[in-house]
Amino acid sequence: MNLESHKDFRKAIEIIQHIENSGGEAYIVGGAVRDFLAEREVGDIDIATSLLPERIIEIFDKVIPIGMEHGTVLVRYESASFEVTTYRTESGYKDFRHPDEVKFVNQIEEDLARRDFTMNAIAMDQFGKIIDPYGGADALKNRRIQSVGDPALRFQEDPLRIMRALRFASQLEFTIEDQTIKAIQTYAHLLSHIAVERLAAEFEKMYQGPGYKAGINFCVKTEVVNYLPIFKEHPSTLSLIPKSPLLHFSEVIAFYQFKVSHWTIKEWKRAWKLSNLTRNRTDILLRSLEEYKTSHKVTEWLVYNLDETLYPSFARVLASLGLEELTVKDMLEEQASQLPIHSEKDLEFGAKDLIELKSDLQKGPWIKEGLTQIEYLVVNKQLTNQYSKIKEWAEQWNPPANN
């Protein structure tokens, strides 16, 4: 693969050239090098340099000082953004995340020594030459996740690296080297020091990868499951493995909740500190799953109540449960196009009409219940969406006495 063939690599190379023309040294580092060598799609491109951040600010026109204390600035170049960080070493991690001391150094090899896994500790110059002091290229070739140096030290510095190892096993379909596995088992308890939001981000990504089954199995094998919110209460639950990947946390919850129902959505939200959006998505998915479970098919009422934006999620959850193939998304879209109405607002007979018709009744929950029944009948084509037809039905309808 040619470096110049990737537009952002070309821009990164030009940044490196500017730095080297200004008396510095610079390399592309991290995930971009890993994915380039593995012939995977390359995302963000990070650059490491011998120059201090103050000098980078002088060289480039548009620089955002996002982490000056750690030597990091964001260089905006031709409408693209690149993190540029001074070579550094780190020591002391009292909060299990941030180094207590950062020391700027002059050699790229020293900078690579602080990284998590050998496949992420590779640097590449502007000509494609590799700097690989820890055998990262060999690890990529052998599809192996291995810590840089002593894995015990790496995981004690930042225990989130444990979850990153499991996530990489899923995303890259790699195995985890034996000593790294042993260290994960030994230091999994340190995950209790990690902010749950950081755990959630890595956990969600683990379910997205093509090797998600291996990632989940590693999670069980290393007993990491015992330190994950919710799952630690019933560790065996994680042994229930989806039949296909899941892309969002709401889908993961819907899968396990449908399988075991040990918890409430409220408990999931509190334990994982999930957003209201994730909770609402999960609620809708679970209601749709219950409708599917009752009817054994995708009904008009299910489609009507399922937000269009959740069609792909619902299809993935059904596939993960082995209930339908992913092509169910096309079925949902087709059925949605044939619905007589798409929301309560489309009804020719509304709440005001129902209240006028039942003027002898005091307002109460019966109004919403009546409209829901009308919606259901119209959606299922048991009642025509015409004012006169719905009025005729409503005249015969008797609200429950307790309403």
The distance in angstroms from the start CA to the end CA of the chain is 70
Per the structure, the complete domain to which residue 380 belongs is given by 347-396
The last residue of a domain, from among 241, 259, 274: 241
User: Is the same domain home to 186 and 74?
Assistant: no
Rg for the chain (alpha carbons), in Å?
28
How does DSSP classify residue 319?
A: H
User: Is the same domain home to 220 and 274?
Assistant: no
Supply the CATH number for residue 365's domain: 1.10.246
User: Is the same domain home to 230 and 267?
Assistant: no
User: Is the same domain home to 148 and 128?
Assistant: no
List CB contacts of 116: < 8 A, sequence separation 6 or more: 147, 148, 154, 158, 161, 164
pTM across the whole model: 0.86
pLDDT at position 147: 97
pLDDT at position 6: 67
User: Is the same domain home to 119 and 156?
Assistant: no
The ranges of the chain with pLDDT < 70 are 1-7, 92, 95-97, 325-326, 401-403
| Residues paired with 47 in a beta bridge | 28, 84
pLDDT at position 2: 61
User: Is the same domain home to 11 and 127?
Assistant: yes
pLDDT at position 219: 96
Neighbour-count burial of 266, counting CB atoms closer than 10 A to its CB (0-12 exposed, 13-18 middle, 19+ buried): exposed
pLDDT at position 102: 86
